[in-house]
């Protein structure tokens, strides 16, 4: 729960959780408009191997998926901590993603993530998203 003066508001957990569902649905659909709407122009995404991507490079990843790829994911932990009187949110969690093409696994990984989202007049925008690979098994 977030307290602003005498006003009490709930963290935007359901709103941000829905954005993750939209984000992951946009990947196999190659809907790069999600990136334009919800990723900050100064986005910094850090992959488990340390590679850093900006919004443009992330959009190129969308385009690189073979047509007909299947993307499944499961979020098993999702914690939202409002920051700056609700102007931003820190999210931590765990998800498993699996990408297949023609029945062949392209990627299968479980990751712990931390991200920072900024509340803007146009909606929430992702500023930073860092992934850490979890051990298999």
CATH of domain 2-133: 3.10.450.50
> Six-digit token pair at 9?
């508001």
Q: What is the pLDDT along the chain (137 residues), one digit of tens a residue?
A: 444 443 435 678 999 999 999 999 888 888 889 989 999 999 999 999 999 999 999 888 878 888 888 888 899 999 999 999 889 999 999 999 888 888 888 888 899 999 999 999 999 999 999 999 999 76
63 by Cβ neighbours in 10 Å (0-12 / 13-18 / 19+) ranks as exposed
Any idea where the domains of the chain sit in the sequence?
Answer: 2-133
How far is Cα 74 from Cα 80, in angstroms, rounded to an integer?
17
> What phi and psi values does residue 81 have, to the nearest 5 degrees?
-125, 110
């Amino acid at each position: 729960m977030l307290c602003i003066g005498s006003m009490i508001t709930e963290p935007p957990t359901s709103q941000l959780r829905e954005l993750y569902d939209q984000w992951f649905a946009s990947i196999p659909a190659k809907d790069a408009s999600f990136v334009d709407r919800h990723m900050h122009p100064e986005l910094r995404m850090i992959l488990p191997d340390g590679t850093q991507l900006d919004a443009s490079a992330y959009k190129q990843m969308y385009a690189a998926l073979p047509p007909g790829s299947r993307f499944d994911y499961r979020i098993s932990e999702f914690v939202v901590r409002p920051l700056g009187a609700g102007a931003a949110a820190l999210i931590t969690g765990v998800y498993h993603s699996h990408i297949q093409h023609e029945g062949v696994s392209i990627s299968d990984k479980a990751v712990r993530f931390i991200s920072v989202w900024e509340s803007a007049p146009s909606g929430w925008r992702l500023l930073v998203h860092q992934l850490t690979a979890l051990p298999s098994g």
